[in-house]
Every structure is written in C-alpha cells, then in structure tokens.
Structure 1
Amino acid sequence: MATIIPFRGIRYDTGRVDINDVTTPPYDVIDASGQEYFYQKNPYNIIRLELGKKFPEDSDDDNRYTRAAKYLEEWLESGVLKNDDKPSVYLYEQEFDVKGEKKIRSGFITGVQANDYSKGEVLPHEETLPKHKADRLNLMKATLANFSPIFGLYADKEHVIENALETARANRRPDAEATDSQGVINRLWVISDEKALELIKEKLSGEKIFIADGHHRYETAVNFGREMAAQGKQGYDYLMVCLVNLYNKGLVVFPTHRVVKNIKSLDIAKLLNEMGTDFSVAELPSGTSLNEFIEKLENIGMGGPAFGIYAGSNDFYILTLTSPDKLDLITDNEHSSRWKQLDVAILHSLILEKYLGIGSKQRADESNLIYVRDEDAAKEFVDSGEAQLVFYMNATKVEEVTDIATGGEKMPQKSTFFYPKVITGMVMNNYKK
C-alpha cells in the first residue's frame, strides 16, 4: 500500500539564520500583506521560494517560479541551506493551546510515493480547485523541489511508529525549533536510525494514508511525477508528507464557517421563516455573546446536525433538522447516505442551494461565499457590512473524514480545518541532489 521514502531533507543552517525569521504558515493562508511581511522579515525567508511576488514586467524567463529556483540554488551554494547527509524522516512536534488546554501533536515528515488515488494507497476527502494546482505545478517544475509538506493521517492503535520515533530521538534536543505567529511551538528532530526507518516503512506498507490538508499539492505531485517520467526522468514521483496517527491525542479539527455575500434582496426574516419548513429555528436570548453562542452550538451538535446563523445586530440563531427524514430531501444520487449525513452536505444542499441559490459553481468560485476559520472574523464580516450573514459550523469528526475517504467519496471543499497548520521551512525536499 503506502510507500514511505526517507529523503535527504534541506534545512536552514541555524548558525547562519534564526529559524523563527525564515519560516511561514502554509502558502494558501498567506495574503498580500502577509507576503510582504515575510519578505521584509528576513532576506532568506522561505516566502521567496514558496510564494514569491509577481511583478508587471514578469516574463517566461523571469517570474516568481524562475526566481524561486534561483534563490534555492544560491542559498544552497552559500550554505544558508544544506542537505542532510543521510536519508531520514523528521519527527515533528507541535505544542499549542486549545481553549486554555495545552496539547502536543506529534507526527513525522517523510517522502510518500505520489500515486493516483485509484490505487487506493493515498485517499482524499475533499474536492479541489484547478487554479491552485496549476500554480503549484509551475513551482515544482521550475525548482525541482517542494518546500512544504502536506498533512496526512494513518491508523496505528498500538502507537508502534510513535514509540519507534521516540526511542530514536532519545533525549536529544530538537535539531530545529520555531514559534510561529499563532504561538505554536514547532520542534523537529532528524531521524536517520536505520532500524527505526525500516520499522516505519514496514508498518505503513500495509496501511492507507488519508490526506487531511494539502489535496492540491498531492495531486500536483502526481502530475509532476508523470511529466518527469514521460521525459525519462525517474525519482520524481513522491512528495513530503507530515504523517500523524489518527489516535494521537493532539489531533484537533476545527470547523470552517461560511460567510454569505452578494445575495440580491436578501430578507433575513423571510429566510428564517422559509427554513422553518425543514429546520427548527431557535433564537438565542438577547445579550448572548459569541462565545456563549459557539458553546451552545457545539453542545447541540453533539446530538446531531446543527448550524448557527448570525445576520447582525448581535442576534444569533441555531438550526436543527425538524426530522431525520429531512435528509431524504438531499436527492444527490452520486453520494452515499453517510455522505448525506455530513453537516457540510446538509448545509450546502438543504440551505445554501435550496434557499439562497448558492450551488457548486458559486461555492467553488467563492462569488457568494467566504470560507473563514475564526469565529470573530466571520462575525466582523457581517458587522462591517461586507457580508450579509454567517453560517457557523461544528467541526467535522475525524472518523467522518476516514469513513468518507475509505468509501471512495470526497467531502465538499473546506469541510475540515486541522489545527495547527504544518509550517513551511522546517525541512524541504529537492529532487535534484
């Protein structure tokens, strides 16, 4: 099944640069102001490799991708970046807080063979958007590298791999440690112990890997490997993946909320009344805070699908299905009953499409939706007048992710938000060594 490929990673020489100054969040959560911030932070910041600037005078010979390749070559030649001596995997630990509770999520970064989903080795759980894949493919072709690991899950109830990694690490201090902008402490250890590597490869050879975050980059890597093979070049058919055990105590999933905009003649009172056909609509008492609303939504969601609505004036509502039979109204014959029970499937089919006319096209091009992780930020979109209302979601359960993926289906885009994100710059991979 899954093929694990230890690799000679590229890492910053921490004697030359402060690792805190050169790492970034994943490229897809960095906006223009964030890009500029990281450009200014350090001349060797990985932003120049992963998400370089565009300029009006860009050409086929001089653009964000060719500049990334040039920076990579220069930094390797100068010694700011160095390849590790031996093929390795990289024990990766993140320490963070969730609602005042300290958590530690541990996993490891390794190469994984990037084969088509049809082989059943690596399974997706979300739909992807084509424009993002084109960008990542151009970067890989120009640099012959990938700079940020995707995030994957595997099942190991006995914690065999985690124990092997802990033994190989022993009491060593981290080879790299960085605190990101969210206050998450990221620690990395190089693991080149041959016994541990063989155990990991053997254990995962019979397992499936579920993509948690990074579908676009995985599908890009598959295409990249095929293109290189067509040119007679081998050894390009893998990419970096940070693998975390499904049974790791630090595994946390947050929801992604749907902010609605650009709906003509939207009447909130009328909308709430119409939705009463399928949902019980409960208005929360005046003076309810956002935190109290979210806590209430989470508690109700433990018993079944539940959705929160905020449309301004500090008025909050919670929707629940009037009957489980309402799921029969989801007439999509392409998906299983398990898929139809997902909160995101119910929201998209029975609310966004039915009452607001937001179908798959509008969801994909985000003409009527903004996907927002932070509860306060979502509310601010409405309070500022930039959007009309928010549908607050409960988190998708990890077992739902694996059930859907194992069944060969995909959730709608932005169904999950695994926290914290795997940061970019702790270790990189170049195919041309």
Structure 2
Amino acid sequence: MVKIYSFPALRPKIGEAEKIASVPYDVVSTEEARECIENNPKSFMKVIRSEATMPGVSPNADIVYETAKKNLEKMVSEGSLLRDSEPGIYVYRVKQGGSIYTGFVANVSVKDYEENKIKRHEHTRYEKEEDRTKHIDTTNANTGLVVLLYRDPGEIFPYIESLIPKGEPDSLAKVDSGVVHEVFPVYDKDAILKIQEMFEGVDALYIADGHHRAKSSVNVAEKRREEGRITEEAERFMAVIFAESRVKVHGYSRLVKDLGEYTPESFINELAKKFDVKEYGEIDDTVFRIPPLKESKTPLHVFHMYLKGKWYEISSPVENPDDAIESLDVSAIQKTVMEDMLKITDPRADPRLEYLGGARPLADLETRVDSGSFAAAFSMQPVKVESVLKIADEGNVMPPKSTWFEPKLLSGLVIHTLD
C-alpha cells in the first residue's frame, strides 16, 4: 500500500491564478523565463527560475536560491498566494483539445520512495538533482509537481471525478495554446479518508514526470534528518496523481547536428544494411506522429527520419520482444544509429544530439533541419504506458528521453511548504 496525505496548500488568490501560473521550470531557457517575467511580473516563474531576474548571475549561485525564497515570501506577504486554513487534496483537471485529464494533488511519502513503492524508470542527472535540492531546501517548499501514475482497480478514478463540484473551479488558468487548467479543493475529511483507504489497495505509484523533483525532495529529507531538523511535512512531497489509463504518451524526437563521417547518401546506404529503409512520401506535418506504412504481425522497431527534405521509414524486426528495454524503439535507435554509426555514446550530454518532446507538429522537425541547424531528425513512435510501468516494476531504466507524458501541468497553482 502507498500513503496519501492531505495538506494546507499555498494557492493563488481568487481571480489571480492565470496571472501566477507558469510552465514548469525545466521546459524553458533562462531567456524564455526572463521574457515570461517581463511580460507578467506576477508569474510564478520568478520563484522557480529566479536567475532570470538577475542577468549575469550563475544559475547555481546561492543568491539565486535566496532570491527564489524572497520572491515566494513576497507573493505570500502581498496576498497573491494564500494558505488554506485546513488540509485538503486538490482535484486537478486539464482540458486539452478534445481530451480531459483528471487527477488530484496530494502529498506522498519520502519513505515510500526510499522503499521503492514509488517507482522510477529514468536515471537522474546530478547537476539537475543538486539544483532542485537547493531550491526545495532554501525555499522550504515543493514549488513544482511530480506526476505519478497508479493502476486503478476500477473505483478510484470515478470517485475522484465525483468530487468535482458543479460551477466554476476555485482556480483556473488558460495558457496561450488554449489548454485550460482547473483546480478544485476538497476539504471534506470523510472524502479524504476514503481516498486514503482506497490507496491501501494500491501497491505502487510510478513517476511519469518529475524524477528530479522527487529525488531532490528525498535528498532534502535525508539532509534534514542528518541535521536534526526534520519535520513531518519534510518527510513528504507534493505530487499530482493520475490513473495510468488517464494519461497519454508521446514520442520524444531526436535531432542530430551532423552525420559524422557520412554524407546523406552514404548514411542512408549504411542504414539500409541494418534496417529496412523506405521513402515515406508526403506526410501531414501538422500532426505529431507518423503512422507506420503498414501493420505487421511480428513486432517491429519503427521510427521515421527526415533528411534532405524527405521522410523515410526505418524498421527492423524486434529480436527479443520479451526484453522490455531492448524491445523499445529508442533502444534500437540509440544503439545502432547513435552509438554505432554516429558515435554519440552519451545521449544525455553529447552536444551533437538534441531532443524535441511532446505533441509538437512534425513541421517543427522539418524547420530545424531545413534551416541547416540540424542534419537529420528522427520521429519516434510513443511507448505504451503499460510498458513504462512494467519496466519500473522490473527495476530497469529506460533510455533517456523515451517518453513525453500529457498532460503537462503548471507551477504555482498548488504549493506545499515543508513547515
């Protein structure tokens, strides 16, 4: 069983959620964060990316974290953020195109993470882990959401959905893309207790997004234990929790800046020794996924390449379908294309390799290659959610940038403080 906890959140003053809410800290550059704050001085970006307010200062300087703390405290003292008078859980609903995603924000246990009841499928990077550890410890708050999934035995999601009252949400933020984010607080003690009891039948939670935020929260708890200043709230961290059937996974595209020792022609010829390579023909570049040319009765690795103004389908049989890691398309492209052919052995740090995630139109890939900034782009098929959970259950780790989960949530609508 996993533990779920209510907490009295800091949340935007009624009517100010749209001004305060911001995209997560790790999806924008410092320059983009600065522009966001200049356009909207109330943006929560000045808390999660405070270096954007201090040109010329290293993002990891101590003053950056102290400034984040002061900016958060100022938002509270000025009344932009208000603390709930009683503990609650917070139903979080996202309306995106024709899809509706409903989960809830609550606290989960550091101990559950340490005992692998909160399971991971990715490695964390030390520098990103160190950054968020300092940020959480200094601000004394979880300012961003970890996205967790659970296997729903059938009754949890309907109950969470039933808690949404009629009428307007307590907080509403509509972003430029048209996506609507809504928060509905639930303070009823019986309802909260029922959710906690339901999760007594859930064996594990799975991190879909926010591996660094989760690990950094654990780091802060460990640090404070050693220093003798641990609190009950610091032994917990904030998460938004979705049923695994209520999210979507998109592929994570790859872009390479050069073809190494190959010309475009020789690169295709070498690929053809390892894969079945076919020109795809015209595509709809307003969508974000290229369907395979044909269905196969046997498992295939399938991905698509844009090179010199043409799209190609690259495919090969999956040698070991029972191997959850090796059967992934991202494993095939990393081993055979990136490592063996292009000598990109560190997919996390090699400057020749960049990623483009999420529901981004294929035209974004074409534009980057056509401009000359990149030599080729690779569009990946999405990984099934159940595959992600299976890999985590087996204690394995997926290759970097294997999954992009939707919905992407905003920061600043719900904040958990560690006091």
Deviation at 1:292, TM superposition (A): 8.4
1:128 aligns with 2:124: yes
Q: Output the CA distance in 1 between the equivalents of 2:296 and 2:386.
A: 16
| Paired residue total | 410
Partner of 2:238: 240
1:242/1:298 Cα in 2 relative to 1: closer, same or farther (>3 Å)? farther
1:309 aligns with 2:296: no
Partner of 1:92: 92
* Equivalence map 1:250-399=2 (5 Å): 251-285=247-281, 287-290=282-285, 294-297=289-292, 304-312=300-308, 314-321=309-316, 323-325=317-319, 337-359=323-345, 361=346, 363-373=347-357, 374=360, 375-399=362-386
Q: Output the CA distance in 1 between the equivalents of 2:287 and 2:55.
A: 46
Partner of 1:332: none
Partner of 2:389: 402
Stretch deviating more after TM superposition (142-151 or 172-181) = 172-181
Q: Output the CA distance in 1 between the equivalents of 2:301 and 2:245.
A: 24
Whichever residue aligns with residue 170 of structure 1, its letter is P
Task: Describe the superposition over 1:18-48 as per-residue Cα deviations: whole angstroms up to 9, x where unpaired.
Answer: 3222211111111233212221233221011
Where 2:290 maps in the other structure, the secondary structure is helix
1:221 aligns with 2:217: yes
Partner of 1:145: 141
Partner of 2:42: 44
Q: Is the 8 A contact 2:147 2:210 kept in 1?
A: yes
Q: Is the 8 A contact 1:117 1:124 kept in 2?
A: no
Partner of 2:9: 9
* Equivalence map 1:171-182=2 (5 Å): 171-182=166-177
Which consecutive unaligned segments of at least 5 residues does structure 2 have? none
TM-score, normalised on structure 2?
A: 0.91
1:298/1:166 Cα in 2 relative to 1: closer, same or farther (>3 Å)? farther
Where 2:245 maps in the other structure, the secondary structure is coil
Stretch deviating more after TM superposition (161-170 or 200-209) = 161-170
Q: Percent identity?
A: 26
Q: Output the CA distance in 2 between the equivalents of 1:229 and 1:25.
A: 32
1:240/1:52 Cα in 2 relative to 1: closer, same or farther (>3 Å)? same
Q: Is the 8 A contact 1:94 1:186 kept in 2?
A: yes
Whichever residue aligns with residue 38 of structure 2, its letter is Q
Partner of 1:430: 417
Which consecutive unaligned segments of at least 5 residues does structure 1 have? 329-335
* Equivalence map 1:70-81=2 (5 Å): 70-81=70-81
1:346/1:62 Cα in 2 relative to 1: closer, same or farther (>3 Å)? closer
Where 1:205 maps in the other structure, the secondary structure is helix
Q: Is the 8 A contact 2:301 2:318 kept in 1?
A: no
Stretch deviating more after TM superposition (385-394 or 369-378) = 369-378
1:117/1:169 Cα in 2 relative to 1: closer, same or farther (>3 Å)? closer
Q: Is the 8 A contact 1:184 1:420 kept in 2?
A: no
Whichever residue aligns with residue 26 of structure 1, its letter is P
* Equivalence map 1:184-195=2 (5 Å): 184-195=179-190
Stretch deviating more after TM superposition (108-117 or 124-133) = 108-117
Q: Is the 8 A contact 2:129 2:215 kept in 1?
A: yes
Partner of 2:33: 35
Whichever residue aligns with residue 192 of structure 2, its letter is L
Deviation at 1:116, TM superposition (A): 6.8
Partner of 1:22: 20
Q: Output the CA distance in 2 between the equivalents of 1:82 and 1:25.
A: 20
Q: Is the 8 A contact 1:75 1:81 kept in 2?
A: yes
TM-score, normalised on structure 1?
A: 0.88
Partner of 1:161: 156
Q: Output the CA distance in 2 between the equivalents of 1:297 and 1:129.
A: 33
Deviation at 1:8, TM superposition (A): 0.6
